[in-house]
Structure 1
Amino acid sequence: MHIDLEPVTKDNWRACVALTVQPEQREFVNDVSHYLCLCHYGDTWHPLAVTVDGEVAGFCMWAVDDDASRWIGGVVVDASRQRQGIGRALVVALRDRLAAEPGVPNVALSYAPENTAARALYLSLGFVETGEMEDDEIIARWTPA
C-alpha cells in the first residue's frame, strides 16, 4: 500500500473534515475538525492529510515533546477505506519520517486500553508499551535502531 502524507491546505481540509470512522471507533477518536482546531489554535500539533492516489483517505498529526521525542496522534482512516492497509502504511510512513530527524530518541503514541485494534497494530509495528500513561491512555514508544 502506497500512501502520501501531505500538508493540510485550503484545497484538502474539507476532505479531511469529512472523514468518518466506524461507529464502534467513535469513542477512541475525535472528529478531524477537533484535531484541526488543536493544530491551528495550539502550538503543539501539526496536521497531515493521508492520500491514496491523490484522494484523502485519512488524517494524522504529529508533535515534538520537551525531550525531543516525536508523537503521533489523531490517526483517522475513513470508514470506507479501512481494512486496506492504509492505517499500517500511515503509521509506518510517519514513524519513519519523524525518526529520521536528527536527535530523535523515539517516536511515541498513546491509545485507550480498550482500543484493542489500535494496540495490536502499534505493537505489531514495533512500538513497546512503557508503563507510562497519558491521562487514561497507554503510551507506547518506538526507538530507532
Structure 2
Amino acid sequence: MLRLIDINEENWLEVIFLSTSQGMPAICEEFVASNALSLVQAQFEKTWTTKAIEKDGKIIGFTMYGYAKNQGYYELCRIMIDYKYQGNGYGTEAMNLVITEMKKIEKCKNIYLSTDPENIRGKHLYEKLGFVNTGEFVDEEELYVLSINK
C-alpha cells in the first residue's frame, strides 16, 4: 500500500535522488522538474505541499500540489515515480492519494495539471482518472482539469 509522507531531515536526500530515468537526476527531467528544484520552489512559494510517496517503508516517488498563485487555481504541480518502480500501477495509486488530499482543501473545486504534449503515458493516466484536456496550454504544456464534486 502506498502512502504520502512528510519530507524531513531524515529522508530529503533520498527524495532528491529519485529520478524518472537511469542516471543522475537533472534539474529538468524528461517530463517533470527535479524533486530538488520542487523542494526549493516550495520553500519560497508557500502555497505548495510536498510529500514523498512511500511503499512498504521505501521512498519510491514524490509529489507537489497546492495553489498556483500565478494561475489562480489548485494544481497537482508535480508527481513522479522513480524509474525502478515504474510499471507497477504506483502512479495511478499515488495520483488517487493526492486527489483525495486535494479534495480536503475547502476552496478547491477543480484540480488542474499540465503536461508535455508528448507525455502519452501520463496523459492516458490522467484521462483514466477523469481529468479532461481543456484545450489550453500553459508554458507549452497541455492543461487538464478534474472537477471535484463536493
Q: Does the TM-score normalized on the shorter chain lie above 0.5?
A: yes
* Structure 2: distance between partners of 1:21 and 1:103: 32
Shift in Å at residue 109 of structure 1? 0.7
Q: Answer whether contact 1:68 1:105 (CA < 8 A) is retained.
A: no
Shift in Å at residue 99 of structure 1? 1.4
Tell me which residue corresponds to 2:25. Answer: none
TM-score under structure 2 length normalisation:
0.87
**1:64 partnered with 2:101:** no
SS in 2 for 1:89: helix
Tell me which residue corresponds to 1:35. Answer: 38
* Structure 1 gap ranges (5+): none
* Structure 1: distance between partners of 2:104 and 2:31: 28
SS in 2 for 1:83: coil
Tell me which residue corresponds to 2:50. Answer: 47
Shift in Å at residue 30 of structure 1? 2.2
Tell me which residue corresponds to 1:134. Answer: 138
Q: Answer whether contact 1:88 1:121 (CA < 8 A) is retained.
A: yes
Encode CA deviations 1:26-59: one digit per residue, 9 max, x unaligned: 3212221111111113333221100001210000
* Structure 2: distance between partners of 1:135 and 1:121: 21
Tell me which residue corresponds to 1:6. Answer: 5
Of stretches 68-77 and 13-22 in structure 1, the one that deviates more from structure 2 is 68-77
Query: After TM superposition, which residue ranges in structure 1, 4 or more long, deviate above 6 angstroms?
Result: none
Look up the equivalent residue of 1:18 and give its one-letter code.
F
**1:18 partnered with 2:17:** yes
* Structure 1: distance between partners of 2:105 and 2:46: 19
* Structure 1: distance between partners of 2:21 and 2:135: 29
* Structure 2: distance between partners of 1:35 and 1:121: 22
CA RMSD in angstroms comes to 1.9
Of stretches 60-69 and 84-93 in structure 1, the one that deviates more from structure 2 is 60-69
Look up the equivalent residue of 2:37 and give its one-letter code.
H
SS in 2 for 1:92: helix
* Structure 2: distance between partners of 1:33 and 1:103: 28
Q: Answer whether contact 1:68 1:104 (CA < 8 A) is retained.
A: no
TM-score under structure 1 length normalisation:
0.89
* 1:110 equivalent among 107, 114, 118: 114
Shift in Å at residue 68 of structure 1? 6.9
Shift in Å at residue 116 of structure 1? 0.6
Q: Answer whether contact 1:30 1:74 (CA < 8 A) is retained.
A: yes
Shift in Å at residue 93 of structure 1? 0.8
